[in-house]
Amino acid sequence: MHRRLVVALGLACTAAACGDSSAPDASPTGVAYSFALIGCNRVDAADTTGNQSTANIEQLTRTFAEIAALPQKPSFLFFMGDLTLGYTADTTVLAKELQGWKALYEASALAHSSIELVAIPGNHETQGPTKIAYAAAERTWLREMAQYIKRGGNGPQAGGADALTTDQSKLTYSFDYKGTHFVTLNTDPVGADWHVPAHWIASDLSAARTAGTKHIFVFGHKPAFPYPTVPTDGLSRDTASRNIFWNAMNTNRAEAMFSAHNHVYFRTQPTLGGAWQVIAGNGGSKLEATIDPTIPTSGSYYGFTVVTVLKDGRVIVKSYGRDIPTGGYTQSSAGTPTTVRDSADLTWAN
């Protein structure tokens, strides 16, 4: 099998001006639906003074406004973790950070639009200061973010083929929408940091494909395959488990896994002719020194990503980005336009 591929870097159009009629997603049959995604917006500990949310407020509020203003309204916004600084053993602190984040969201035009927010935990929400996930953090996430995970419930419970320590049924789960199967993953479950329940995923994807789903999209905080300059990152610490997961993606013709964790945008096809992986961790967290902007389909900018599913079956991904503020990553980005930085066709060939 092979993929049709269309790439356009640095297209000069703003988020408000680039609708679904812009290349390469023009289609005589029109748009079925779209969804947006973003991850990694939390600030560093030194930059949290007076900021209960611990979010990069400048970038977050601008992104919320720009997504809400898109001509083709996305059906969903998947927020793929590291909303907050977290990394705390005190769940009261974690709860307050999440409450602060929710206040920013609820005050935005996005919250009052038709776009549904789907929140996915990152390692900063589930792990403590020793970078190990713990059950009380999972419970805090489930309580505070309940209204943004309302489609959850069918995921794996404790035990099972993946030997899970805690109930993951509302942290890793799937749902269907307009002939598409969506899967959200907790990539740091208690007792299995840096892992996903690969056996449950394989069964879930197979069942969806057997049932006749047209598309499969998977979302998780940590990518299955690491960003090139950090080879021990992502889910690569247990390649056997990771490969069960990725083989299921390819066997069941999933279009892509979308993730964050690395503070960068990066699109890659880990196995030639197979599913794509898109890292979209460029939501506003401080860029990491490991980023290599010379890597093709990689970029050091802030923004969000939109995936458009066309009625003719094609799937188009676009990365919208704006330059990092010269005065510092939390400073105003006013006057810096948001443009389409990467665009590609992710469609499986027949």
Give the model's pLDDT for residue 18. 43
124 vs 6: CA distance, rounded Å:
35
Bridge pairing between strands 180-185 and 173-177:
antiparallel
Give the model's pLDDT for residue 289. 87
Tokens at 224, concatenated: 């299955």
Domains of the chain: 11-345 (3.60.21.10)
Is 208 in contact with 216 (CB distance < 8 Å)? Answer: yes
15 vs 34: CA distance, rounded Å:
14
169 vs 247: CA distance, rounded Å:
22
Give the model's pLDDT for residue 37. 98
Output the DSSP codes for 17-65. T--TTSTT---TT-EEEEEEEE---BPPGGG-TT-TT-B-HHHHHHHHH
Give the model's pLDDT for residue 7. 37
Is 279 in contact with 122 (CB distance < 8 Å)? Answer: no
- Rounded to 10 degrees, what is the CA torsion of 229, 231, 232, 238? 150
> In a 3-state reduction of DSSP, which class is residue 93?
helix
Give the model's pLDDT for residue 27. 58
Per-residue b or e along 142-164, where b marks 16 or more CB atoms closer than 10 Å to that residue's CB: bebbeebbebbeebbeeeeebeb
Averaged pLDDT, groups of 10, the chain, 350 residues long: 36 40 54 98 98 98 98 97 98 98 98 98 98 98 98 98 98 98 98 98 98 98 96 93 98 98 96 96 94 88 98 97 96 95 91
- Rounded to 10 degrees, what is the CA torsion of 337, 285, 259, 255? 10
Is 301 in contact with 267 (CB distance < 8 Å)? Answer: no
Give the model's pLDDT for residue 349. 77
Give the model's pLDDT for residue 28. 57
For 174, phi and psi rounded to 5 degrees?
A: -135, 160
Helices (H) and strands (E) in the chain, counts: 6, 14
Give the model's pLDDT for residue 46. 97
Tokens at 172, concatenated: 């890793």
77 vs 306: CA distance, rounded Å:
9
Give the model's pLDDT for residue 26. 52
Single out the residue of 48, 1, 33, 83 nearest to residue 283, CA to CA: 83
Output the DSSP codes for 232-301. T-TTTTSHHHHHHHHHHHHHTT--EEEE-SSSSEEEE-SSTTS-EEEEE--SSSPPPTT--TTSTTEE--
Single out the residue of 201, 216, 212, 194 nearest to residue 123, CA to CA: 194
Bridge pairing between strands 339-345 and 11-14:
antiparallel
For 271, phi and psi rounded to 5 degrees?
A: -120, 125
